[in-house]
Amino acid sequence: MVKRERELTMNITLSINEKTVEVPRKSTVLDAINASGTYIPQLCKDPDMKPIGACRTCLIQVDGIKGFPTSCSLPAKEGMKISTDSDQVMRMRRGVIELTLAMSPGDHKTNTQSRLSPNSELTLAAKNHSIKYSRWDGRKREGTDTSNPVFNISMDSCILCGRCTQACQDGHQFIGAIDFLGEAKKSRIGTFMDKPLIDSICTTCGQCLSVCPTGAIEIKTPPKKSSKSITTTCPYCGVGCGLKAQTDDNGQITQMLDDPNNQSSLGMLCVKGRFGYTFINHKDRLTTPLIRRDGILTPSSWKETLEYTTKRLME
């Protein structure tokens, strides 16, 4: 029994593009690739969720294995020799990415690809495979759902990777506000009875927004450019969710991101934790203690306030 437990905790060694990598047992090949610092697209794989294997952009070549398996769903084994940049696998991935790009608006005749966020994971994948636009015309897509007060769902940029539905359902939040609707060419992301998001059971937690690889789910007011990230804890309740506060050069918060390393939240946030930070710089926010004197709240020092409070508690 002890020997078996020791075997399970031992690491395994494999080769990524002739570079030796050591990872824990039960890791996937994608885990090993990421650990090696090698770039590979992974549009449907969120680091905090189980692999879906739907986008096929993490295809690899493995010695002794026919075809091009997805690295996210392939268990890593001792002695594996993996290639992510051979001519064959690069050609395969390039074709997949071109087809994926065709799901968003573009015109191969004018060499343009519109609507995609310049910082999206899909844009990065295309850039790393020397693809400026798709050779294929995009299909007709549904309009943008703007009913939610915080973010929009722009279906014309959706690649149906499934990350948002997984995050909303059993992957993270266990809410189930959105899922796949329709089938084949009519497949899309939507709510029960295909109603506007505001009429669904959505809690506006923004988990779908945080995992979208294309920018199809985008906040209504784009955050300002940040220059620093500060790890902190959400102050709203006693759960202790982890936050990555993004601040500008003046120290003002521009955006709140989740902290996947926080054991209380594990990458999950509610609407208050993710979006409820504007009060910090609000003009009506109290910045000094107040003591009621003759029925009127008047500013006071912290020392005086603590002495006053202690005195009242002792009465």
Q: Report the mean per-residue pLDDT for the chain.
A: 88
Beta bridge partners of 190: 179
The pLDDT of residue 171 is: 66
| Spatial CA neighbour of 93 closest among 130, 46, 58 | 58
The pLDDT of residue 120 is: 87
Q: What's the rounded mean pLDDT across residues 24-36?
A: 95
Q: Do domains 2-128 and 228-281 have the same CATH topology?
A: no
On whether the CB atoms of residues 7 and 24 are closer than 8 A, the answer is no
Model pLDDT for residues 144-160, shown as the tens digit of each residue = 899 999 999 988 888 99
CATH of 228-281, one of 3.40.50.2000, 3.30.70.980, 2.40.30.10, 2.20.25.90: 2.20.25.90
Domain boundaries, the chain: 2-128, 144-219, 228-281, 287-315
Q: What's the rounded mean pLDDT across residues 120-124?
A: 90
Helix (H, G, I), strand (E, B) or coil at 131: coil
The pLDDT of residue 95 is: 94
Mention the CATH class of domain 144-219.
alpha beta
Model pLDDT for residues 299-308, shown as the tens digit of each residue = 999 999 999 9
Beta bridge partners of 256: 245
Structural tokens at position 108? 């191969």
Beta bridge partners of 106: 113
Task: Report the percent of the chain where pLDDT is more than 70.
Answer: 93
| Spatial CA neighbour of 219 closest among 266, 260, 271 | 271
Model pLDDT for residues 275-300, shown as the tens digit of each residue = 999 888 888 888 899 999 999 999 99
Q: What distances in angstroms separate CA 256 from CA 8, 73, 229, one per listed residue?
A: 37, 31, 9
On whether the CB atoms of residues 53 and 71 are closer than 8 A, the answer is no
Model pLDDT for residues 62-101, shown as the tens digit of each residue = 999 999 999 999 999 999 999 999 999 999 999 999 999 8
Model pLDDT for residues 191-230, shown as the tens digit of each residue = 999 999 999 999 999 999 999 999 899 999 888 889 999 9
Handedness of CA 46, 47, 49, 51 (dihedral sign): positive
Range 2-128 classified under CATH 3.10.20.740:
yes
Residue 196 CA, chain-centre distance (Å), reads 23
